[in-house]
Structure 1
Amino acid sequence: MSTGFFDGIAPVRYAGPESTDPLSFRHYDPEARVMGRRLEDHLRFAVAYWHSFAWEGNDPFGGPTFVRPWHPQDEMGRARMKADVAFEMFALLGQPFFCFHDADVRPETGDYAGNLAGLDEITDYFGPKMEETGTGLLWGTANLFTHRRFMSGAATNPDPDVFAFAAATVKGCMDATHKLGGQNYVLWGGREGYETLLNTDLEQELDHLARFLHMVVDYKHKIGFQGTILIEPKPQEPTKHQYDYDVATTAGFLRKHGLESEVKINIECGHAVLAGHSFEHEIALAVAEGMFGSIDMNRNDYQSGWDTDQFPNNVPEVALAYYHILKGGGFGTGGTNFDAKLRRQSIDPQDLVAAHVGAMDVCARALKAAAAMLEDGGLEQALRERYAGWSRPEAQAMLQGDLAAIQKRVLDEGIAPEPRSGRQEILEAYVNRFV
């Protein structure tokens, strides 16, 4: 039954590249086959419950701009109404997945038992809706950063009672994710970092964070959860320094604590930019480390200097991200979660649907370009040519030798290498042929 919130908006359909309707797909045909797979199966789209339905349009300098019938989100009746609207939009878009934090879907009661009861009630409410719409849960997670109790962190908090509250909250969220058939569980430590070293014991906080992650992994196996545990890096904002700063930092942390085979990485475009990296860099590095899991798709405003969480609109940037995902074998349990929100001035229900339609088209167009580049093989051929010298027996033998043997060879053979072009501009022009 319709909620009335999206009255006048029909289910979104593929209309082709010539369409001018902002509520139809121009590039995303879920049944189209790319590299032998359906486009829907490649992209594995998900809607972020927090930005699309829980966020009220506020920012650090202004209050809410969205007037929704489920605001304020302070009791279970409004939580159910919010769920009704959310699943109506999932059906309009044909979304295969959604993602949520516990605090997105139930009211904050101020105590753990009340929060858990609300989460249990709303996930029971989700079950039939998921069956009716065919929308699954890509991942669940716990909000361990909004409430004032987490102002000094969760797993890294100096107060053991906060650690306990956070651990209990994660346990409840893992149970909910498992119950709903979620394919992943995400840990995002929005305040797992410090604001000043004057009051921070780095060694103790990092040890506690590692122990917390081991508890999560142990509980996953205890309940038979078959999904993937993901950790999502971010460099700062709101903290001065967050412990999972970027993919490299996170990979090093996981390896140090023996978690590299148990935890993969969820990479957000906006967080990559805040860390001074590109989206493709973070994905390529995670693939190289064997730790790639999933992505949060969005973009930052490059003039603002903070995490603006806008919907993606840069096809070349997104194409290079998907290139490395496809090259690495594609998504396993992960997918493309739109961790993106409307601008505060985009207040109409149509804006919410159109934002996802446009973003899905950008991703579809980008993935098709990435697949075309892989099938053409130009970038891979350029890599093979650039590193061809390492295939020679003497080069491989050098890696097994020592410095003295290498010095002797350089002297005996008179090795005096000349630099070779990296061909960057030629390769950039090559990419532009596809996007």
Structure 2
Amino acid sequence: MSSTFHVGQREYFPGIGAIPFEGRESDNPLAFKVYDAQRQIGGRSMAEHLRFAVAYWHSFCGTGQDPFGPGTRMYPWDQGSSALARAEAKADAAFEFITKLGVPYYCFHDVDLAPDADDIGQYRDNLAHMVTVAGRLQQQTGVKLLWGTANLFSHPRYMNGAATNPDFAVVARAAVQVRAALDATVALGGQNYVFWGGREGYACLLNTDMKREQAHLARFLAAARDYGRSIGFTGTFLIEPKPMEPMHHQYDFDSATVVGFLRAHGLDGDFKLNIEANHATLSGHSFAHDLQVAADAGLLGSIDANRGNPQNGWDTDQFPTDLYDTVGAMLVVLRSGGFGHGGLNFDAKVRRESTDPQDLFMAHIGGMDAFARGLEVAHALIERSPLEGWRAERYASFDSGAGAAFARGELGLEALCEHALVAGEPTVRSGRQEAYENLLNQYLLR
């Protein structure tokens, strides 16, 4: 990937060059302290392990607005005379930022990349034009598309959902965007396609036929899959769980709910999960829990890397800086064999009060360093610490004898009872939680 960006356009982040790796002793806020893209860990480079991606929507579209006030950031790429001119300038700014940061991938919604339009023909023309622009920029910079998706939640037509909307006309209109976004993803070489059902749920159960809506959602996903395969999409379709907000209850509540839904409708052969940290905590789980559920089902696809504020009950989408979270996440990823087509997309936004251009760089640098350190520690815990041995020993009674027979399904309830009569009262065995936590700290502090 090129670390410079010179195609004759305006420089949108002047004074900031390619972000260097300077190591732990550096005090430079615009340098990596841990993330060294080419450093080898377990036979792969950090870049290959982590597969970082920049979120187009938060980083180049979000102005800092919240329910209590308008945006606080005025972007220089939003000053063009027409919507398409502004979209082109935004793309130039995005690829300048991504290349200076040294990130290999990006992600987008259709109407992040191109201007939206109620007229279907105009919408398609806008997106096709911007796909051409993005394709040229990808070729010039070497940046790749991790995944594409369609925004089926912002427009008022989707206030009652998209694929689950009680009005068939809305379902059909949603298909227009999904088809166009799939076309764009294939044209740009996207490795995944994501469905986030932001309004696929209900606000009031009294007026909702939940069984019917979920059946329609499954039919819609199957139709999208079939179309994607027909145009040559060979990547992974991803579902992103979230429990609520904006809806009272969303059908993709958490990892376990989505796994069950995919299996119930025969979609688990093509679909996996895109886990977001903040969504996991909103569902009452830890980030690592939802990752582990997906991994245990063989359906862990990709990660939206962020965090929430534990004092807030909504989706704050803060950049990830909690090392315990990143270690826990990378333990799951490494044990499951790595990302495959997926990666770590920073679905995170700088704070409303952060208004300088360098703030966006520093936010990403901090998140990348946090996950790089998580990778280092997780790899060391697996390869050099007693952690895996401790975990195996805790379940050793199922590795031989009657315990192994039970695990193979060879012992019924009567046989279990007979074993208990012979064995007598079980010995109390400590879970040693403190030892595990101290071991993690020991390796984190090295």
Task: Establish whether TM, by shorter chain, passes 0.5.
Answer: yes
Residue aligned with 1:361, SS: helix
Partner of 1:96: 104
Offset from partner CA, 1:173-195 (integer Å, 9 cap, x none): 00100000000000000000000
Q: Provide the residue aligned with 1:161 in structure 2.
A: 169
- Post-superposition shift, 1:220? 2.2
Q: Is the 8 A contact 2:306 2:347 kept in 1?
A: yes
What SS is found at the alignment partner of 2:303?
Answer: strand
1:174 matched to 2:169: no
Corresponding position of 2:40? 33
Matched, 1:405 2:415: yes
1:342 to 334, 338, 350: 350
User: CA deviation digits over 1:218-245, x for unaligned, max 9?
Assistant: 1122112111100000000110100010
Structure 1 residue 72 displacement after superposition: 7.2
Partner residue of 1:118 out of 109, 126, 139: 126
Query: Which of 258, 261, 265 in structure 2 is aligned with 1:253?
Result: 261
Aligned to 2:5: none
Structure 1 pair 93/253, CA: closer, same or farther in 2 (3 Å)?
same
> Could you tell me which amino acid in structure 2 is paired with residue 344 of structure 1?
R
Q: What is the aligned length?
A: 434
Post-superposition offset of 1:404: 2.1
Normalised by the length of structure 1, the TM-score is 0.98
Where 1:218 maps in the other structure, the secondary structure is helix
Structure 1 runs not aligned, ≥5 long:
none
CA distance in 1, matches of 2:321, 2:405: 47
Query: Counterpart of 2:54 in 1: which secondary structure?
Result: strand
TM-superposed CA distance for 1:433, in Å, is 1.0
The structural deviation recorded for 1:406 is 2.3
Distance 2:371 2:108 in 1: 21
Whole-Å separation in 1 of the counterparts to 2:418 and 2:321: 55
Q: Secondary structure at the match of 1:433?
A: helix
Deviation at 1:315, TM superposition (A): 1.1
Amino acid at match of 2:400: R
Structure 1: which amino acid aligns with 2:435? Answer: I
Query: TM-score, normalised on structure 2?
Result: 0.95
TM-superposed deviation, 1:284 = 1.1
Query: 2: distance between equivalents of 1:397 and 1:44?
Result: 41
CA distance in 1, matches of 2:136, 2:278: 34
1:418 Cα deviation from its structure 2 partner? 2.7
Tell me how far apart the structure 2 counterparts of residues 192 and 31 of structure 1 sit (CA, whole Å).
41
Misfit runs of 4+, over 6 Å: none
Determine which of 416, 434, 443 is the counterpart of 1:425. Answer: 434
Q: Is 1:53 equivalent to 2:63 in the alignment?
A: no
3-state DSSP of counterpart to 1:295: strand
Deviates more, 1:162-171 or 1:67-76: 67-76
Is this contact kept in 1: 2:39–2:46, CA < 8 A? yes
Residue number in structure 1 paired with 2:3: none
After TM superposition, the structure 1 = structure 2 runs for residues 14-413 of structure 1, keeping only pairs within 5 Å, are 14-71=21-78, 75-398=83-406, 399-411=409-421, 413=422
Indicate the SS of the match to 2:17. Answer: coil
> Secondary structure of the equivalent of 1:70?
helix
Distance 1:189 1:111 in 2: 23
CA contact (8 A) 1:2 1:88 kept: no
Distance 2:358 2:139 in 1: 25
- CA deviations 1:90-143 (Å, max 9, x no partner) are 110111000000010111222222111111100100111101111000000000
Fraction of identical pairs, as percent? 50
Query: CA offset at residue 414 of structure 1?
Result: 4.4
**Structure 2, unaligned runs of 5 or more:** 1-7
